Amino acid sequence: MTNFLNVLLDLSVVALFLGGVAQFRNLRRARFGNLTAAFALICSVLLVLYRHGVLDPAYVAIALLAGCSLGWWIAARVNMVQIPAMVAFQHGAGGIAAFLVAYRELTRTDGSLTALGAWSGHLGLIIGAATFSGSMIASGKLANRIRQTPVVLTAHNVILVALLGLIGVLCLLAAFAPGSAPETILVFLMLVSILLGGIFAVRIGGADMPVLISFLNATAGLAAAFCGVSIGNRLLAACGATVAASGSILTHQMCLAMNRPLARVFFPRSTKHPERNATEDTPSLPAAAHDSQLSAAVRAAKQAATIMIIPGYGMAQAQAQFETVWLANRLREVGKQVRFAIHPIAGRMPGHMHVLLAEAEADPDMLVDIRDANPEFQRTDVAVIVGACDVVNPAAIGAPGTPISGMPILKAHEAHHIIVCNLDGRPGYSGVENSLYAAPNAILLFGDARATLQRLIGRLAAENAAPIMQPESMTIHRR
């Protein structure tokens, strides 16, 4: 009977977690959902403390207090632009916890570990350790501490397969080793897994980060789930599995957005990346030319009735989200239809652009996704690109055989005018030359996006951008 009660208690806490997740379907209730999940987590901690107690409350309290305050302190100060790096870092912390718990469980000497517990313990250890190192590399790349370009070793795939094989051998050794606590083997297993995660992650380039970070989200959940099975804790297993599901969905959606299967993202067929030698073919424009381009941009913006703004990772890097939204709001005030077209893989993690635009208080009604945006570009007077390259590169449609061929793009090239506020004319992370820059209707404003937008805003204000709008063009557009 008490067992039944325990199952019921566990189930209600799991239901609380799922209830929190369910709130995320609605923008207004999401915050409540997050608090619900946090409450559920507190409940589960209390439940464990009540059921099992702790022998060294002082140690537990110190570790908890240190972890909590450190987590709070960093999370309260992190800049919205650094969110992807921070999320990856936290995945890594979760990985550490998972593999240490699994390690301790496997080396317990009281012999109460079942075969199921042992196998899932090993899996938790391997996945946790690999998640840890993979996340740390991802975090370093996202925070620009490590170069974001892919690092490809000679025979990269062979090394990965060899490491996996080694892991398999170590698992078998651990299973059939004499003695109950093959600690050395487990430590080796841990180290090899850490190496595997690191070598796996270094090859992923900046633009593929949304896939990697979602994938690590899934593996962090999976590691927790296996830990839960290993120690026979239903709550832990259930929560881990839910997170694994969430991470899998996001990974799948990111792959769909790039039109590449997961295997092609992680194990690219052609490892040669085109050299980023574009510095010589697009010299930085002389100031005078820049000025004439700026005038052209101002003219185009003033005459436009419909404007589509396309933000990308460059906007995040330049921290230009405030200027971008400010420009959008000013243009909207004078009666223009302004919207943000957001590519699913713009930025460095799923939904990255949405958070930045929300930070700058963009009206959520102005955001449109790729499916709704693309039919609109033919009727769009001006497309403003802010720090986006690959996601608007027409080569994805026109040129076969490039790394981005077949990727759905935002069809900015169909707009009447294109204002490009990118840092320079070099290719994006895919390394594919962007033919958009050569288009006759493209107005190139190369330079720091934030500074460029400030100049654009200044010029618009100086010329007293009163509602200059062709009445006939108004009637063409719906709404």
Partner 1 sequence: MSDLLIMLAVLIGSFGAGYALISKVPTMLHTPLMSMTNAISAVTILGALLLFASETSPTGKLIGMVALLAAAFNVVGGFVMTDRMLKLFKHPPRRGTGE
Residues of this chain, 411-450, that bind partner 1 according to CB under 8 A: none
The angle, 0 to 180 degrees and rounded to 10, between the axes of the packed helices 115-142 and 183-202 is 40
**Terminal CA-to-CA distance of the chain, rounded, Å?**
64
Among residue numbers 53 through 72, which ones bind partner 1 (CB under 8 A)? 53-56, 59-60, 62-64, 66-68, 70-72
Among residue numbers 332 through 361, which ones bind partner 1 (CB under 8 A)? 332-333, 342, 344, 349-352, 354-355, 358-359, 361
What does the alpha-carbon distance between residue 209 and residue 350 come to, in Å, rounded to a whole number? 9
Check binding of 246 to partner 1 (CB under 8 A): yes
Check binding of 90 to partner 1 (CB under 8 A): yes
In angstroms, the Cα distances linking 248 to 27, 134, 308, 368, 373 are 22, 17, 31, 24, 26
Among residue numbers 365 through 394, which ones bind partner 1 (CB under 8 A)? 365, 367, 369
Write down the least CB distance from residue 274 to partner 1, Å. Answer: 30
What's the one-letter identity of residue 30? A
Torsion, CA 77, CA 81, CA 82, CA 88, rounded to 10: 130
What does the alpha-carbon distance between residue 189 and residue 184 come to, in Å, rounded to a whole number? 9
Please give the backbone phi and psi of residue 274, each rounded to the nearest 5 degrees, phi first. Answer: -55, 140
Check binding of 122 to partner 1 (CB under 8 A): no
What's the one-letter identity of residue 33? G
Check binding of 363 to partner 1 (CB under 8 A): yes
Kindly indicate which of the ranges 74-82, 171-179, 379-387, 462-470 contains the residues binding partner 1, using the contact rule CB under 8 A. 74-82
Write down the least CB distance from residue 131 to partner 1, Å. Answer: 9
Write down the least CB distance from residue 141 to partner 1, Å. Answer: 17
User: Tokens 């309260």 label which residue?
Assistant: 76
Contacts of 351 (CB under 8 A, 6+ apart): none
Residue 473's nearest CA partner among 307, 252, 277, 233 is 307
Among residue numbers 275 through 334, which ones bind partner 1 (CB under 8 A)? 329, 332-333
Q: How many residues bind partner 1 (CB under 8 A)?
A: 114
What does the alpha-carbon distance between residue 293 and residue 310 come to, in Å, rounded to a whole number? 19
Check binding of 224 to partner 1 (CB under 8 A): yes
Q: Are 395 and 435 within 8 A, CB to CB?
A: yes
3-state SS class at 28: coil
Residue closer to partner 1 by CB (options 58, 288) is 58
Residue closer to partner 1 by CB (options 160, 265) is 265
Kindly indicate which of the ranges 149-157, 227-235, 303-311, 393-401 contains the residues binding partner 1, using the contact rule CB under 8 A. 227-235
Q: Which of 130, 194, 238, 327 binds partner 1 (CB under 8 A)?
A: 238
Check binding of 211 to partner 1 (CB under 8 A): no
- Residues involved in catalysis: 390
Check binding of 235 to partner 1 (CB under 8 A): yes
Q: Where does residue 222 rank: exposed (0-12), middle (13-18), buried (19+ CB within 10 A)?
A: buried
Check binding of 87 to partner 1 (CB under 8 A): yes
Q: Are 300 and 419 within 8 A, CB to CB?
A: yes
Check binding of 191 to partner 1 (CB under 8 A): no
Among residue numbers 2 through 31, which ones bind partner 1 (CB under 8 A)? 7, 14, 17-18, 20-22, 24-25, 27-28, 30-31
